[in-house]
């Protein structure tokens, strides 16, 4: 078990190395001369050469990479030429906000998905089942940014129940209640597609278990349908559900980008999009490294969690 | 090679196999035609594609030229079946013309990635060993990013725009499609008829092109069709964020993005294009499911 985790962890090293190379090289593919861009069209050859030397651009590529990697490993992701702040200082608070949104969405998606899936599987081919299958198909193909706009129209503009923008209201106390109210619509928007996938998966997994003999035995010995479903079936159907839910955890890191944009949520995705539009390459790169690192670690954590929950997947 | 087969009396067998294959395809077409959901999907795609191709003829108004007199007209206004947007442009006309852009930015990256995957996947699956290892480890780097964010990051490096968006989405899809091709290639490779072909002296090129390729095509086709639906949603998303197709070009994602600015006055401007995106994405999913059923011999009675 611990061997496996260590092995998986070591397996990440080449992947992370590859990621750093790809991101470093992508800087080099950007059209245009960095020095000329910084100094403007009036720069002399001498000043250009001087700047190139001070930026280390006159050195061989592998030396530049090694220096860049060294700085990166020490948390120095460079300065944003547009926001005039260290990149890491820009990204960390945004990432915290994204985690709040992604976490709430994950809870919603798993709770909702598993509930709908079990309810649908309990009465296969009933109206409830058909409705949940149809709904999960439609929601699964729904553009998240569109869903966000529809929710704003209904709940913020029409019913005026919920705020449509930001994390806190400008005149509010900035407390947890205020945050929760602002969190509802973006979290529902982000959670919809993963919830649809989890619903489908849960339904399939529970249906498969319900067809097995020991369920018939449990029913024959007089267990109530609720006990059969919740105790016997759900427990056996657990592993595939956890696997698919864990996959969604990674997806949510990307899925939040649309709800952050639509609801003005000050997260990593929104920052990434505005930096892309402003062509702030430093921030884009820093965000790329950051996202890849988090995504890889989340997927590893999901694998390990799976292992703990389902002894059958444990390597011998 | 051909002479050898004739000499061994193998030509009839080869013909028989070809006949088997066409019988299989005919059977698949029959299964597909009986699948109501798949047929509805195909019908919707045909309709949208047909309207998009015939856009200059069927579109009632100019999709780009602004008309100040009829701004934000609600749906069912005479002359504007689905209403007008914030610049007085007919929404129906923009949807019809937008089909050209939105279908292309959804389909082209998927097909391009499919072709690249065919090459890489067959190479990795057939050769195995170091070729397989180096291809798959390289692709692992791309698996380390969430799909949408990777597309945004690539656009971030090469700059926004429709062409760059297509390129970015294609790059994002290559690892996923390659994995599908490789898995199929490996499972087919171990089958007896490949051994038999090799025993008869067929070279690598012949085995890969004549025997492996046809057998990895159906899983790839099924996967690609479902991906197109996803990519139509994803590319609409990039355009919505301002990273893909740029206004005033009519594109379904751009239309939702524009409509967002007038959401509080006229919600239909943003909502109608979104419904079209959902319907078309669903249609591709239906067709993909139908193809899966039709092309998988195990699912047939």
Tell me whether B134 touches chain A (CB under 8 Å).
no
pLDDT digits (tens, 9 = 90+) for B220-278: 998 999 899 999 999 999 999 999 899 888 999 999 999 888 888 888 888 999 999 99
Q: Which of A32-46, A75-89, A104-118, B23-37 has the lowest mean pLDDT?
A: A32-46
Which of the following CATH numbers is that of domain B35-300: 1.20.1600.10, 3.40.630.30, 3.40.50.2300, 1.10.3720.10? 1.10.3720.10
CA B77 to chain A, closest CA, distance in angstroms equals: 21
CB contact under 8 A, A258 and B146: no
Q: Which residues of B touch A258 (CB under 8 A)?
A: 237, 240-241
Which residue is closest to B274 within chain A, CA to CA?
Answer: A146
pLDDT digits (tens, 9 = 90+) for B149-205: 889 888 888 888 899 999 999 999 999 999 999 988 888 888 888 888 888 888 888
Indicate the residue of B145, B156, B281 with minimum beta-carbon distance to A292: B145
Indicate the residue of B242, B256, B285 with minimum beta-carbon distance to A146: B256
Q: Which residues of B touch A82 (CB under 8 A)?
A: none
pLDDT digits (tens, 9 = 90+) for A128-154: 889 988 999 999 889 999 999 999 999
Cα-to-chain-centroid distance, residue A35:
35
Q: Which of A218-232, B117-131, B163-177 has the lowest mean pLDDT?
A: A218-232
CB contact under 8 A, B237 and A149: no
Which residue is closest to A286 within chain B, CA to CA?
Answer: B153
Residue B246: left (phi > 0), alpha (psi -120 to 50), or beta?
A: beta
Which residue is closest to A137 within chain B, CA to CA?
Answer: B282
Instruction: Summarize the confidence of residues B63-83 as an average pLDDT.
Output: 78
Indicate the residue of A15, A18, A284 with minimum beta-carbon distance to B156: A284
Indicate the residue of A141, A145, A277 with minimum beta-carbon distance to B240: A145
Q: What is the pTM of this model?
A: 0.86
Indicate the residue of A141, A152, A277 with minimum beta-carbon distance to B160: A277
Residue pairs between chains A and B whose CB atoms are closer than 8 Å: 131
Residue ranges of the domains in chain B? 35-300
DSSP annotation string for chain B: -HHHHHHTT-HHHHHHHHHHHHHHHHHHHHHHHH-HHHHHHHHHHHHHHHHHHTHHHH-SS-SSS--GGGTTPPTTBTTBTT-B-TTS-BHHHHHHHHHHHHHHHHHHHHHHHHHHHHHHHHHHHHH-HHHHHHHHHHHHHHHTS-HHHHHHHHHHHH-SSHHHHHHHHHHHHHHHHHHHHHHHHHHHHTSHHHHHHHHTT--HHHIIIIIIHHHHHHHHHHHHHHHHHHHHHHHHHHHHTTSSSPTTS--HHHHHHHHHTTTTT-THHHHHHHHHHHHHHHHHHHHHHHHHHHH-GGG--
User: What is the structure's pLDDT at B13?
Assistant: 36
CA A119 to chain B, closest CA, distance in angstroms equals: 24
CB contact under 8 A, A284 and B159: no
Indicate the residue of B157, B260, B264 with minimum beta-carbon distance to A26: B157
- Give the pLDDT band of residue B8 (cuts 50, 70, 90): very low
Q: How many CB atoms lie within 10 A of CB B37?
A: 16
Within chain B, how many helices (H) and strands (E) appear? 13, 0
Give the whole-number percent of chain B exceeding pLDDT 70.
92
Token pair of A203 as six digits: 């339904």
Tell me whether B169 touches chain A (CB under 8 Å).
no
CB contact under 8 A, B144 and A257: no
């Amino acid at each position: 078990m611990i061997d496996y985790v260590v092995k998986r962890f070591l397996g990440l090293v080449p992947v992370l190395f590859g990621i750093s190379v790809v991101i470093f090289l992508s800087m080099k593919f950007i059209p245009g001369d960095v020095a000329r861009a910084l100094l403007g069209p009036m720069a002399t050859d001498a000043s250009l050469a001087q700047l190139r030397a001070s930026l280390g651009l006159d050195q061989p590529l592998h030396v530049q990479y090694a220096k860049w990697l060294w700085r990166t490993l020490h948390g120095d992701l460079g300065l944003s030429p547009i926001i005039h702040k260290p990149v890491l200082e820009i990204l960390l608070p945004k990432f915290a906000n994204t985690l709040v949104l992604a976490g709430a969405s994950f809870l919603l998606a798993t709770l909702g998905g598993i509930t709908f899936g079990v309810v649908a599987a309990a009465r296969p081919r009933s109206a409830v089942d058909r409705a949940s299958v149809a709904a999960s198909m439609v929601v699964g193909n729904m553009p998240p940014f569109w869903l966000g706009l529809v929710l704003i129209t209904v709940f913020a503009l029409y019913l005026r129940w919920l705020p449509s923008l930001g994390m806190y209201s400008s005149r509010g106390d900035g407390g947890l209640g205020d945050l929760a109210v602002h969190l509802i619509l973006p979290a529902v928007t982000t959670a919809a597609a993963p919830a649809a996938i989890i619903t489908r998966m849960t339904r399939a997994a529970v249906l498969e278990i319900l067809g097995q003999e020991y369920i018939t035995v449990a029913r024959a010995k007089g267990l109530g349908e609720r006990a059969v479903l919740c105790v016997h079936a759900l427990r056996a159907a657990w592993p595939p559900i956890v696997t698919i839910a864990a996959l969604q955890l990674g997806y949510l890191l990307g899925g939040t980008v649309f709800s952050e944009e639509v609801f003005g949520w000050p997260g990593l995705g929104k920052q990434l999009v505005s930096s892309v539009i402003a062509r702030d390459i430093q921030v884009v790169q820093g965000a790329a490294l950051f996202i890849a690192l988090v995504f890889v670690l989340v997927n590893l954590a999901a694998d390990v969690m799976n292992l703990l929950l389902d002894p059958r997947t444990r390597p011998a | 090679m051909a002479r050898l087969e004739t000499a061994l009396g193998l030509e009839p067998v080869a013909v028989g196999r070809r006949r088997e294959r066409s019988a299989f395809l005919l059977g698949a077409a029959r299964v597909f035609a009986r699948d109501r959901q798949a047929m509805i999907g195909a019908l919707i795609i045909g309709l949208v594609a047909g309207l998009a191709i015939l856009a200059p003829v069927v579109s009632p108004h100019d999709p780009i030229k602004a008309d100040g007199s009829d701004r934000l007209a609600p749906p069912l206004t005479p002359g504007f079946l689905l209403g007008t947007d914030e610049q007085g442009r007919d929404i129906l006309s923009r949807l019809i013309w937008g089909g050209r852009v939105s279908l292309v930015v959804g389909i082209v990256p998927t097909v391009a990635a499919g072709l690249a995957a065919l090459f890489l996947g067959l190479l990795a699956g057939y050769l195995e060993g170091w070729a397989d290892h180096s291809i798959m480890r390289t692709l692992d780097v791309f698996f380390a990013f969430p799909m949408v964010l990777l597309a945004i990051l690539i656009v971030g490096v090469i700059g926004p725009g429709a062409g760059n968006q297509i390129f970015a989405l294609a790059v994002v899809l290559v690892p996923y499609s390659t994995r599908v091709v490789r898995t199929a290639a490996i499972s087919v490779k171990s089958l007896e008829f490949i051994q038999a072909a090799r025993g008869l002296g067929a070279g690598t090129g012949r085995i890969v092109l004549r025997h492996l390729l046809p057998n990895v095509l159906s899983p790839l086709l099924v996967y690609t069709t479902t991906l197109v639906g996803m990519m139509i949603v994803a590319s609409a998303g990039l355009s919505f964020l301002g990273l893909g197709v740029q206004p005033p070009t009519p594109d379904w994602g751009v239309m939702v993005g524009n409509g967002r600015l007038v959401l509080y006055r006229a919600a239909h401007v943003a909502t109608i294009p979104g419904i079209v995106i959902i319907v078309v994405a669903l249609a591709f999913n239906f067709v993909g499911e139908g193809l899966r059923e039709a092309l998988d011999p195990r699912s047939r009675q």
